[in-house]
């Protein structure tokens, strides 16, 4: 079995961030990037499927400039055999059509049995990678899935919906699956795997005959800024505080 896992690097949005003056990006001095968390779940799912099948190959693919190698090397520490970076001048990663077409080109080169991706990216919440790839490649897409199993040429997966609703689906391979956050417990890489990932050669694949970008997006990011509201502290006993609150509510009506 050959499984390709699409990975990307995202901004760590947990610390304090500063934005550029034009409001379109995070100040590089405050930008810390890491492997997307849901992609770790996708990598683990791919490795588990190969273990279940008694062998196979897991290949990581990422679309991006040189810095995308960082996400690929992070993913390689978990145990995938190799990684490929896809990039060419004019590619717009923020455009789902451009991204999907670039990934589809990589799939036609790699010819995998199954493609996995994280269900979403943690910094912007985007969920378009899997569906865009499936549409450009012309294969089925199973989004928001967990509990993946392959028998013969058929994939069985459990899809998750809101309110705890699930459904079990079957699809013929090849197909694209987006793996739910927390679907499994990603394994930690050994020291040997980390050293291998550090030294691994990551070839560049330049896609050709990509469609023109029709809907490139520019994201505006900004901090909330200082609050214009003032705070009034109410002192006194419970009865005094309650009476003051009632008075303030009546004044505001």
pLDDT digit string, tens, across residues 19-76: 777 766 667 676 677 888 899 999 999 999 999 999 999 999 999 888 889 999 999 9
In a 3-state reduction of DSSP, which class is residue 247? helix
Task: Determine the pLDDT at residue 231.
Answer: 74
pLDDT of 130-148, one tens digit each?
999 999 999 999 999 999 9
**Which residues touch 175 (CB under 8 Å, ≥6 apart)?**
114, 115, 134, 139, 140, 141, 142, 155
Handedness of CA 236, 237, 241, 244 (dihedral sign): negative
Reported as a single tens digit per residue, the pLDDT across 165-203 is 899 999 999 999 999 999 999 998 889 999 999 999 999
Q: Where in the chain are the domains?
A: 2-205
Number of CB atoms found within 10 A of residue 125's CB: 7
Average pLDDT over residues 224-244: 77
CA 189 vs. chain centroid, Å, equals: 20
Q: Would you state the CATH architecture of domain 2-205?
A: 3-Layer(aba) Sandwich (3.40)
Rounded Cα distance between 84 and 62, Å, is: 7
* Band of residue 88 on the pLDDT scale cut at 50, 70, 90: confident
Query: What percentage of residues in the chain have a pLDDT greater than 90?
Result: 53
E-strand spans in the chain? 2-6, 9-11, 33-35, 57-63, 82-86, 114-118, 141-151, 154-160, 166-172, 175-179, 204-205
pTM of the model as a whole: 0.78
């Amino acid at each position: 079995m050959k499984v390709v896992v699409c990975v990307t690097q995202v901004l760590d949005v947990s610390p304090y961030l500063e934005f550029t003056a034009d409001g379109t990006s995070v100040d590089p001095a405050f930008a810390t990037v890491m492997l997307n968390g849901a992609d770790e779940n996708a990598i683990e799912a791919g490795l588990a499927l190969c273990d279940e099948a008694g062998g196979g190959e897991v290949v990581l693919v990422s679309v991006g400039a040189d810095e995308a190698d960082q996400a690929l090397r992070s993913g390689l520490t978990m145990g995938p055999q190799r990684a490929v970076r896809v990039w060419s001048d004019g590619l717009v990663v923020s455009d789902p059509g451009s991204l999907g077409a670039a990934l589809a080109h990589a799939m036609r080169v790699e010819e995998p049995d199954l493609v996995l991706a994280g269900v979403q990216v943690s910094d912007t919440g985007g969920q378009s990678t899997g569906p865009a790839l499936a549409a450009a490649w012309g294969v089925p897409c199973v989004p928001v899935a967990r509990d993946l199993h392959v028998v013969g040429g058929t994939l069985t997966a459990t899809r998750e919906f809101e309110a705890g609703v699930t459904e079990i689906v079957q699809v013929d391979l090849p197909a694209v699956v987006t793996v739910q956050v927390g679907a499994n417990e990603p394994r930690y890489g050994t020291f040997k795997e980390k050293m291998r990932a550090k030294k691994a050669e990551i070839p560049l694949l330049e896609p050709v005959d990509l469609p023109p970008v029709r809907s490139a997006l520019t994201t505006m990011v900004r901090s909330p800024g200082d609050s214009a509201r003032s705070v009034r502290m109410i002192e006194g006993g419970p009865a005094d505080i309650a009476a003051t609150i009632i008075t303030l509510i009546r004044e505001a009506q």
